[in-house]
Each structure stands twice: as structure tokens, then as C-alpha cells.
Amino acid sequence: HTHHFLSPTSSSVLPLSLESLSVNHVFALALLVCSAIVVKLLVMRRRGIRSMEAFPGPPAHWLIGHVKEFRQDGHDLEKIMKWSGQYPFAFPLWFGPSLSILNIHHPSYVKTLLTTTEPKDDYAYKFFIPWLGDGLLVSTGQKWFRHRRLLTPGFHYDVLKPYVKLVSDSTKVMLDKWEVYGKSGESFELFKHVSLMTLDSIMKCAFSCNSNCQTDSGTNPYIQAVYDLCHLVNVRFRVFPYHSKAIFHLSPHGYKFRKAARIAHNHTAEVIRKRKEVLKIEEEQGIVKNKRYLDFLDILLSARDEHQQGLSDEDIRAEVDTFMFEGHDTTASGISWIFYNLACNPEHQEKCREEILQVLDGKDTVDWEDLNKIPYTTMCIKESLRLCPPVPGISRKLTKPLTFFDGRTVPEGRPIFQFVPHTKQTSLFDPLRFLPENVAERSPHAFVPFSAGPRNCIGQNFAMNEMKVAVALTLKKYRLIKDPQHIPKMIPQVVLRSLNGIHIKIKPVENDL
């Protein structure tokens, strides 16, 4: 019997040895694959470190880099400010073993980067493409150049002029809704109100749509979709495995992204569909366009290049998606932070109010001519944009090596991120920094809220006008008061938001004498 159990042909022994052999094989294979991946990551890491040799920066984990440092808890920007103080000019941040982005924060470095025609960095911006298509924000090369040229007439001051009244109307709807807070004196969250106002404005101005989005009840689905999309683009950038299309697609975040993108696309598709219908009826009935002015959508649909070629349907949708988002979310951020900063600085708020009341002289609407007559208010707007930039950074990818004024060079293929920080010494709200004589002493690249160079913001005049109108009418009607119970926690999520909202209290101006 003993012999039988020891026999190599024993049927009970053979499967066991095969099983252990296959387990060992699988284990050895898995070990080999893991080792190969680790070796590859280490090689990529070493190559990355070599390319950033000239730029010391904060210590990073070999695999996940600085990802864990950014907790999205309202302190991320402080961390970047701190590092900006420790590493003058620039420092690298790592988002995985091999993806390092050089953060630049000195005017001379910013100038070197922004005066080039380098394309947008495809790491950060490619995650926008499923949502915004190949529109002006993300397109590159000849396509970007052609679109920029075709769309520039849409931002001529003759086109922008009639928008001032439309923005005034939208602002007044918002301020009427605020009467309840003016009476009760209770604190309320600004960003959602201002987002609806700027969406209402871009719909009226650029697309001649009276959306009633400010007075409709419930959460606006498009605004919620934009909020979700910004959050998910941010998550995708920070979670290294999500850089893979397949992994992101299969994840719950990927599902949520597609759902939100569908809502955003349906919103813009409906705007285009309605306009095409109107144009078709006008054409059939031979109606001459009797609208007072051309809007952005007219210009998009009728734009022709030197070969008489217009924009394709896909191009039009991408630009409408881009401008619908860029035209309301960035200005909503800008206006909300301006209101917050004015609430925190009542003496500057009072100076703005005096100037505004004098210029408006009893009118309840801002006119185009008034916009250049409020210099102190304009300086306060710029100071808020400096402290709380609605777009906290921009990035480029190098197609050739770039050498800075101090001789340090970044090799081609590397992404560079230009962050818009301020140091502790400059964290005080001081609009006098923008007096002409003070501006003249600084590099023009020390303050670039709308970027600079060939790819600067095409809509910056529209944005500045909208901010001026909103601030003027708001300060005419209400005194903005800081709420010490709710201090906002800044968080960059494509645009600068607050983790816990932006809260203020208000008091009607005529009741507080």
C-alpha cells in the first residue's frame, strides 16, 4: 500500500503536481510582468528626472509623484504659492512616474512661453475634447489659426456694444431675486446665482435666446452638467490610470462624464437647431434680417475664409460648446470672487459705489459709454482677478526646446504650466497696484488673467464689460457684507471655484444711511 501511494503514476498525485505547477507558472509570469512594468516605469521616471534636471522642486513619490499632495481640500493653491516662494522662477510637479509638468511663475518665464506659438498641452486639454470638440480652446495649428481668424469679427466692439444692455437686463433679474436676502439679512451662496446670470447673458448676447434660466425653478441641467464636467476633467487629470481612454471609459467617473456631456451637447444642439430653422424660414420667405445686430451665432454660421469655405456642422457645434462654457463659467467665477473681495474690503467697495452713482446719475442701466468712466471700479475688478484668477493656469506643450533668460532649457515634448499665483506679500487687496504709473513699473506679463500672446483670450473685452456692468448695477442697489461664518475654500476645477461655496450678506443701499 505504501508503494502504491508513492508511485509516480498515482492518479491522486498527478493532478496535484500539475495544479501546483500551473499556479507556480502563473505566479512566475505575474511576477515577470510586474517586474517588467516596474522597470519600464523606473526607466521613464529616470528619463523624466533627467529632462527636469535644471529645475529643482518639491520631493515627489517615484510612482504617484505629487498627486497625494493635492487633496482638493481648499489648500492646494496655498501649497503652490509656498513652493513658488521656495523655487524661484519655476519648479516641476509630477503626476505619475513620468508625467512631469514644469510650473512657471515668473513674468520673464511667462513672457518667454506666451510669446511662442506653441500648441496647448495635450495632457491637460485632450480631456476636454469629448465635451468641447476641437473648438478654439483646444484646437492647434492651421485649424486653430483659421477659426481664430473667422471668429475674431464676432468680438468687434460694434458687435459687443448692444450686449451691454442685455447684460444689464440679466443682472437686474438677478438683483431682483436678491431682494429676499436684502430684507432678511441672511447669508446666501453667490456662485449659483451668478452662473445663472452669466448663462442668461451669453444665451441672449451670443445666441439671441431668451432662456428664462434665472427664473425657472429647480437646478439648471446645463449648469449642473458644466459643473460635473469640470470636476471630472480635473479628476481624470489627477488620477494617472484615467489617462487611459479605456480605463476612464469603463469607470463610474467615465460613465458620469458621458452622461453630463450628453446633457451639455443637447443644450447646444437645440440652440443651433432653432437658429437654423429661423434662417430657413427667413430664406424661404425672402425676409431680410431685421435683427438690430449680428450675434456670435450669425457670425459662426456665415463665416467664410478666402476660399469661400465656411465652418462644418461639427466645427460649429464645437465652437458653440466652447463659447457656451467659456462665455459663462469663467465670468461667473470672476464676478463671484469680485463680489466676495468687495464684501471683505468695504472701504474700496464704498469708493466704487461713489464713482458708479456719479456716472449712472440716476439711470438703472449701464450704457456702453459708461464703461470707461469707472476707473476705480475697473482697478478693483483687476485686483480681484489678480488675487482670484478665474482661470488659475494655462499649459503648453513644447514642439522644440525652450530656453529661458537665465540659460535653463526645457526639452521638447514637455508640458509647461503657467500658474497665476501671488505671494504672501501680495495677498493684500490693493487696487492702487493698477494705477497707470504702477502698471508702467511692472512687466506686462506680471498680470495675465486672459493669457497673452497669439493665444490670448478672444473674449476678454466681452468678459471685462460683463464684469463692469454686473459690479456697477449690484453696488448701486446693494451693500455687500462679508459673512465670517463662511470663508470660501479656493479650489481650481478648470475655473476657480470654492469647495464650500462663496457666501455674502447684502443690505439695500437706500436703507442703510
Annotated binding site for heme: 457
Q: Which phi and psi (to 5°) does residue 411 adopt?
A: -70, 165
Indicate left, alpha or beta for 72 from its phi (over 0: left) and psi (-120 to 50: alpha): left
- Summarize the annotated binding site as residue ranges: 457
DSSP string computed for 331-368: HHHHHHHHHHHHHH-HHHHHHHHHHHHHHHTT-SS--G
Count CB atoms within 10 A of the CB of residue 354: 12
Instruction: State the greatest distance between any 2 C-alpha atoms of the chain, in Å, as a whole number.
Output: 114
DSSP string computed for 192-242: HHHHHHHHHHHHHHHH-----TTTSSS--HHHHHHHHHHHHHHHHHHSGGG
Strands ordered across the beta sheet of 415-419: 90-94, 100-104, 415-419, 393-397
Answer for the pair 349, 475: CB distance below 8 angstroms, yes or no: yes
Nearest to 222 by CA among 233, 234, 211: 211
SS3 label, residue 121: coil
Q: Strand (E) positions, 66-211? A: 90-94, 100-104, 188-189
Q: What is d(CA 366, CA 164) in angstroms, rounded to the nearest whole number?
A: 7
> At 506, which helix (H) or strand (E)?
strand 503-508
Q: Find all residues with CB under 8 Å of 134, minimum gap 6, and list them.
A: 143, 315, 318
Q: Find all residues with CB under 8 Å of 216, minimum gap 6, and list them.
A: none
Count CB atoms within 10 A of the CB of residue 346: 14
Q: What is d(CA 217, CA 349) in angstroms, rounded to the nearest whole number?
A: 32
SS3 label, residue 128: coil
What letter does residue 396 receive in the DSSP assignment?
E
Distance in angstroms between the alpha carbons of the first and the last residue of the chain: 109
Distances 414 to 122, 123, 446 between C-alpha atoms, Å: 10, 10, 23
Q: Find all residues with CB under 8 Å of 46, minimum gap 6, and list them.
A: none
Q: Find all residues with CB under 8 Å of 26, minimum gap 6, and list them.
A: none
Q: What is d(CA 101, CA 240) in angstroms, rounded to the nearest whole number?
A: 14
> At 497, which helix (H) or strand (E)?
strand 495-498
